[in-house]
Amino acid sequence: MLIVQKYGGTSVADLERIASIAKRIIRYREEDNDLVIVVSAMAGETDRLLNLAHSICKFPDERELDVLVSTGEQVVSALLAITLKNMLCDAMSLLGHQARIITDSSHTKARISRIEQDLIVSALNKGKVVVVPGFQGVDEKGNITTLGRGGSDTSAVALAAALNADVCEIYTDVDGVYTADPNICEKARRLDRISFEEMLEMASLGAKVLQIRSVEFAKRYNVPILVKSSFTDGEGTLVCKEVADMERMEVTGVTYNKNESKITVSKVPDKPGIASHIFTALSDAQIVVDVIVQNVSRENFTDITFTVANADGKKAYKLMEEVAGKVGAEKVAIDENIAKVSIVGLGMRSHAGVASKMFSVLAKEGINIEAITTSEIKISCVVEKKYGELAVRALHTAFGLDTGAVEEEK
């Protein structure tokens, strides 16, 4: 088998842990697997480097920021390769520019466009374990790029896709994907399997297990992802194509995100092109918009509400003030005091009344819903931040996730 394994920051936090994953890698190698190992920076290192840059100035040059932070993964790649070779396992590191992980030029949030895998394949053919730093790539001109937070997952899946690997194993500090965040819902349970589609919604909604882009990649190229703990020997959760038995329950998981800000542009003249104006401005500024809600028009005016990551909140707010001036909107408001609670499940497609059940559960707890958005397999409600965790627990119970019912019910 050709296996891509990715180890996160806590799995490589010190030399002892690096030695312990090296032993795991050698076990896999002894079973005659070909291995490409993708590593993150040591836990805390990326933040340390970012803090250095941000103590120089508020908006450090992004090209140079990538040069800076990509060193974190480079260090771990070298240390792991040294450890493996010392354990008599032939290995070599290939950095982003050597492994030819080609991205676009959007520094700090680049996207992989292709991987020229010749060098990796030739190293694998020589029996080497190939260690690749996650998170980093190189653009067409040879500039170092990084893929954004959690980008190492994306590196791993992209490599698995490019190399046509049998599976992409993501080792992290949790032992799989849960029905809800166990830190706020003690009855949350590990899922054995989850479909790409559900995982996509889970990831984008704040389950921090996998970066969303990595799941998109995995879905597009049908790369099964096995999420496992690097500290225990559990089964993990397999993220893969939808299979029939997945549809038993209405809801697979409940997620929660308190790191978004809600921005409302009020009394926007309701003319064609206005929404495009607003969201083009945001996308030009590379701001990713999550929930978008536009209410029906009243007296030829409408309100447009959207959420963005807290980090982009102030920037988006400023942009909207400019845009509001241009398009003749009345005012712009920002609210950081929100949480987004969502239920996700392929089962929604075949069960009626899931939305109304969600709203009544929240109402019963006295939680006001500030905005609603839905997709085929998820429903999200924006609520006041202080109610977020309560909402998760109430929904987890109401949709039968507490009891292990996923396995038993039909």
Residues that bind its own copies (CB under 8 A): 15, 19, 49, 52-53, 55-57, 60-61, 63-65, 67-68, 71, 74-75, 77-79, 81-83, 85-86, 92-93, 95, 97-98, 142-144
Q: How far apart are CB 75 and its own copies at their closest, in Å?
A: 5
29 or 357: whose CB is closer to its own copies?
29
Q: How far apart are CB 158 and its own copies at their closest, in Å?
A: 20
Q: How far apart are CB 17 and its own copies at their closest, in Å?
A: 12
Q: How far apart are CB 152 and its own copies at their closest, in Å?
A: 17
60 or 148: whose CB is closer to its own copies?
60
143 or 229: whose CB is closer to its own copies?
143
Q: How far apart are CB 322 and its own copies at their closest, in Å?
A: 24
Supply 60's token pair. Answer: 């450090």
33 or 98: whose CB is closer to its own copies?
98
Q: How far apart are CB 360 and its own copies at their closest, in Å?
A: 53
74 or 373: whose CB is closer to its own copies?
74
118 or 330: whose CB is closer to its own copies?
118
